Structure formats: C-alpha cells, structure tokens
C-alpha cells in the first residue's frame, strides 16, 4: 500500500508512444492557464460578500492572507512539478514520495474537486449568459434554464452545451486550448483592469472609515452548519476586527482555487524544469495583485455596508451612476468563466489519465489520440458525465467540497516535499522550495486552519467520498496496479 513509484519510472512511462502526451506549452501558456482559472466568480462576487459581512475595507488584507497560504503551497508544487514533470499533479507527486495508497486517495480527491468545480462553474456561466440575454429581451424557457430557475423538472441546456464544446476543444489539442484561453483571458483581465482604472475616479476616502470595523460575534452556528473549528476547540469565529480578517481569508480562498491545475500540465510543457515554477508562481502573483486592487477600489467606491452581495462590482458602478460599466463587468464575468470551466476539465482529465496509466483505473483510458496526442477517452467520458451533472443538478451546497479537496491536496503535497528530499536527495531539482522543512510545515498548518473553518457537513461529505475511494482501491486498484504487478 505504501510502495512508491520512482521518478525515473514515472518519466519513462511518459515516453511510451501510445500513452505519451504532446509537449507544446511554454511558461507564458502556463501563466495564462493559471490566470484563466483563478480569475473567476471570486473576483466578481466574493469581494462584496466578504466586505459587507466579515472584513469591511480590510478585505484587501484578507486577499493577501489567502494569497500567502496559496503561495506556501505553490512553492511546494513548483519543486515537485519541476522535479517530476509528469501529468497528474498532486497524485503523481504523492506516488513518488508518500506511496500508492496516499496517491490513490489524493487522486480520488482531485477527481471530485475538478469534476464538481467544472459543473459548478458551468452552471454559474449559464446564469450570467441568461442574465445578458434578458438585457436584450431574449428569454430561455424555464424548463431549459436548470433546476434552480424552473419549478419542477429543469435542465440547464446552456451549461450542458458549454461543457460539451470545451470537451471537443480539449480533445483536439492543448495548443488550441491555450490559444482559446489566451483570447478569453485577455478579455477578462481587460475588464478587471477597466474596473480598477475607472473605479479610481469614483473613490471617496470616507468609505474607508473604519478600515478595520469593530469586532462582532458571528451568529452562532449549530449542528452541521457550524464550522469544524467551533466543534473541536469551542472557538467562535468573529465578523470584522482583526480575527474577522482571518475568517474572511478562509472565505476568499475560494477565489484562488485553481492555480494547482497548472501542475497537471507538466507533462505537456516543453521545458517543465524551468517553466512550471514560472507558470505556477507567476499566475498566483498576478491574480493576488489584481484581487487586492479590485477590493480596494470597490470598497472605496461604495461603503462596505451598502455593497451588493450578488454582483458587487457591477452594482457599485450602478450606484455611482455608470450602468455602462456594470454591463461590461457582467460580460467579462460570463466570458471569464469559460476558461475556468475548461481548465478545471483539463486538470480532471489529466489526473484520470495518470491514474489509468498506472493501472489504478482501467488502462483503456490511458491511450492517447493517434493524431492529437491528447487523452481523448477520459476527456470524452468525463466531459459527457460532467455535462449531464451540470444540466440536471443544483449543486450550490456542494461547492465547499471543492475547497476542502483543494486544501487537502495542499497538505499532501507540502508533506511530500521533505519526504522526497530525504528519500531521494540525489534527484536534480531545477527549483527548490526554500526553508525546508519549515515552509512545508507552515503550509500544512495554514491549509488545515482554513479547512477547520469549513462546516461540519462539508467534512462529513468529504469523509464519505474518501471512504468510497478507499473501497475502490482495495477492490480494484491495488490488484491492478502496474507497480504492484511488476514487483510481483
């Protein structure tokens, strides 16, 4: 159960003609992918919710705190991605350092994280598009607007079609995916910069007072809705004040989810030893700066107590008498979610492909397309399944599972860095995580703290999914593992 797969064997597997992925990505492509998946609903929605309910103008500090937590994990990811340039991200890293069972668990976790994330984002994209259609008096029938919009049966046709189109793009090739992403990210970043620059002219200094509002006790949680930290330590999180900033950081962390997807494309990168660290860290730095700037501008345009929760950026411009900018922001949000959905689907298929190539899932899914050199079988399978989930399911309540899954992956990767340093000190490392083991330990502690701020219900659901994964491993994965068979 704890046998490890050598880095040399992992790299050798990528050279098998029928199971090899095409190397076509540069550091710029990776950075664009990172920015494309990180800048999503978080920057357009969470800013208002957190400022109004938890941190006030100090939301900018909360974004910095969340960015630091991600940066600690990103430094660990960068070392692994440059040392083990193989598809699979945290799954592959765990296999090389912590053993097969841990690798399976984290791979199973990523399957949940990326699949659910893709479906959630597709449903969110559909909502923005329907809103834009309503502005020009085009209305979708309720029965085709999803279960949230319809009474009784509802099928979200737009979300279903979006996932299928993105599936086709990913099958055709990574370079096409990178080009589509580049165009969409340029539009999305342009809209964000427009918000920052235009909003500067409407800032009022009095809206920043007080910058850190006085502390208030949060409404008491009970049962499944209470955060895990309250159940274990009896700690009751506060709104506003200094501790409110840390509570806010656990919420705005949602906005950073996705930078780890960049690591799943390591095998398709031309010079992974050099470009993977640049892509991971570069995209994270760019997005943190943009998040901080947007939160400062929007809380300066409108007092935090008056901000909208559903569409804070657009409504802030409406409040200052500029509806044109509000429409542009809605357009940017709709366009931007396209790349978020595509890159999450990309990460999902690469993890599934890597697990299949190792025999932990059926080897049928590890063959690449003879022409496009993409993992077309898992891409088509997962694309169709996720499209159906997005069409039929209302899954807002399950969105927190994406968060806990990501944080769990952070913990495993951070633990793997000092372990691999100890077991394989001879490996060439193009990028080395600084201050090992202090920095990885700090990354684990920060990630666990944010996990503890999630509701008990989220932990129960996550534990159920992990238990199912362990059963599947012992029933199928352990006996079909290529590493195990070769050992026998």
pLDDT for the residue numbered 240: 85
pLDDT for the residue numbered 404: 84
Asked if 416 and 89 touch (Cβ cutoff 8 Å), the reply is: no
Asked if 351 and 117 touch (Cβ cutoff 8 Å), the reply is: no
pLDDT for the residue numbered 432: 93
Which of these, 163, 100, 116, 77, lies nearest to 355 by C-alpha position? Answer: 100
The residues, ordered by sequence, that sit 6+ positions from 153 with a Cβ below 8 Å of its Cβ are 143, 147
How far, CA to CA in Å, does 63 sit from each of 189, 251, 331? 18, 10, 24
Hey, which residues does 25 pair with through a beta bridge? 269
pLDDT for the residue numbered 220: 54
pLDDT for the residue numbered 179: 80
Residues of the chain with pLDDT under 70: 41-42, 45, 135, 146-152, 174, 218-224, 237, 310-311, 394-400, 488
How far, CA to CA in Å, does 9 sit from each of 86, 268, 418, 431? 11, 17, 20, 20
pLDDT for the residue numbered 102: 93
pTM for the model stands at 0.85
pLDDT for the residue numbered 474: 94
pLDDT for the residue numbered 396: 54
Asked if 346 and 171 touch (Cβ cutoff 8 Å), the reply is: no
Torsion angle of C-alpha atoms 185, 44, 406, 473, degrees rounded to 10: -80
Buried (b) or exposed (e) across 334-363, using 16+ Cβ within 10 A? bbbbbbbbbbbbbbbbbbbbbbbbbbbbee
Question: Among positive and negative, which fits the CA dihedral 210, 211, 217, 223?
Answer: positive
């Amino acid at each position: 159960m704890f046998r490890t797969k050598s880095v040399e064997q992992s790299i050798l597997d990528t050279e098998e003609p029928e199971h090899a992925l095409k190397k076509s990505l540069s550091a710029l492509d990776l950075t664009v992918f990172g920015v494309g998946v990180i800048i999503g609903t978080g920057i357009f929605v969470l800013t208002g919710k957190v400022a109004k309910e938890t941190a006030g103008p100090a939301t900018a500090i909360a974004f910095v705190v969340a960015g630091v937590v991600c940066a600690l994990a990103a430094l660990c990811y960068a070392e692994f991605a440059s040392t083990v340039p193989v598809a699979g991200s945290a799954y592959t890293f765990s296999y090389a350092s912590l053993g097969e069972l841990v690798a399976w668990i984290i791979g199973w976790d990523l399957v949940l994280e990326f699949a659910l994330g893709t479906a959630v984002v597709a449903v969110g994209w559909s909502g923005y598009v329907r809103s834009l259609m309503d502005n020009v008096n085009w209305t979708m029938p309720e029965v085709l607007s999803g279960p949230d919009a319809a009474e009784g049966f509802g099928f979200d046709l737009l979300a279903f079609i979006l996932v299928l189109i993105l599936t086709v793009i990913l099958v055709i090739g990574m370079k096409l995916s990178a080009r589509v992403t580049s165009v969409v990210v340029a539009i999305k970043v342009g809209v964000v910069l427009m918000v920052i620059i235009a909003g500067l002219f409407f800032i009022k200094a009095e809206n920043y007072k007080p910058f850190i509002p006085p502390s208030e006790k949060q409404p008491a949680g009970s049962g499944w809705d209470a955060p895990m930290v309250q159940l274990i330590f009896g700690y009751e999180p506060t709104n506003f004040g200094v501790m409110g900033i840390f509570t806010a950081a656990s919420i705005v962390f949602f906005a950073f989810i996705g930078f780890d997807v960049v690591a799943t494309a390591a095998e398709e990168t031309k010079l992974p030893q050099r470009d993977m660290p640049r892509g991971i860290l570069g995209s994270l730095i760019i997005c943190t700066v943009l998040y901080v700037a947007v939160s400062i501008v929007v809380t300066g345009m409108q007092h935090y107590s008056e901000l909208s929760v559903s569409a804070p950026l657009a409504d802030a411009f409406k409040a200052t008498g500029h509806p044109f900018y509000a429409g542009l922001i809605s357009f940017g949000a709709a366009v931007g979610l396209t790349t978020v959905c595509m890159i999450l689907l990309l990460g999902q298929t690469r993890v599934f492909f890597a697990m299949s190539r190792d025999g932990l899932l059926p080897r049928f899914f590890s063959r690449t397309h003879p022409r496009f050199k993409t993992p077309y079988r898992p891409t088509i399978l997962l694309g169709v399944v996720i499209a159906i989930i997005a069409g039929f399911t209302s899954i807002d309540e399950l969105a927190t599972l994406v968060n806990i899954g990501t944080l769990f992956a952070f913990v495993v990767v951070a633990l793997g860095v000092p372990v691999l340093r100890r077991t394989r000190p001879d490996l060439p490392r193009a990028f080395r995580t600084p201050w090992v083991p202090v920095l990885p330990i700090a990354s684990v502690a920060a990630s666990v703290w944010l996990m503890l701020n999630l509701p008990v219900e989220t932990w129960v659901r996550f534990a159920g999914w992990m238990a199912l994964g362990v059963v599947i491993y012992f029933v199928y994965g352990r006996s079909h593992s290529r590493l195990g068979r070769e050992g026998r």
